[in-house]
Amino acid sequence: MPYKAMLVALAVTSLSLLTACDQEVVFHEPGVYKGKHDETATQEAAQRRQDQLRERAMTGMTDR
């Protein structure tokens, strides 16, 4: 009898532990950046500074 009771208790415990598996599991896509957003890395930001950087290179990197 105690053996049966133990089996039942074990089954109940196992079932209650497995209830967490019902929840949605998050799968991270490999190779995709997971960090914080960088405002200066966007297309718009790069477009905004493009001409300024080009002009700076033309004046600063060429021989005087």
Partner 1 sequence: MARMKFLCDAERCIECQACVTACKSEHEVPWGVNRRRVIVMDDGVPGEKSVSVACMHCSDAPCAAVCPVDCFYTTADGIVLHDKDLCIGCGYCFYACPFGAPQYPQQSAFGVRGKMDKCTFCAGGPEEAHSEAEYVKYGSNRIAEGKLPLCAEMCSTKALLAGDGDVVSDIYRQRVMRRGGRPQTWGWQAAYGNA
Binding site for partner 1 (CB under 8 A): 28, 30-43, 45-47, 49-50, 52-54, 56-58, 60-63
Kindly write down the DSSP assignment for every residue of 32-52, as one continuous string: S--S---GGGSHHHHHHHHHH
23-to-4, 20, 27, 28, 54 alpha-carbon distances in Å: 31, 6, 13, 16, 52
Between 5 and 41, name the residue whose CB sits nearer to partner 1.
41
Between 22 and 63, name the residue whose CB sits nearer to partner 1.
63
CA angle 54, 57, 61 (to 5 degrees): 160
Residue 55 C-beta: closest distance to partner 1, Å = 9
Residue 22 C-beta: closest distance to partner 1, Å = 28
Residue 64 C-beta: closest distance to partner 1, Å = 9
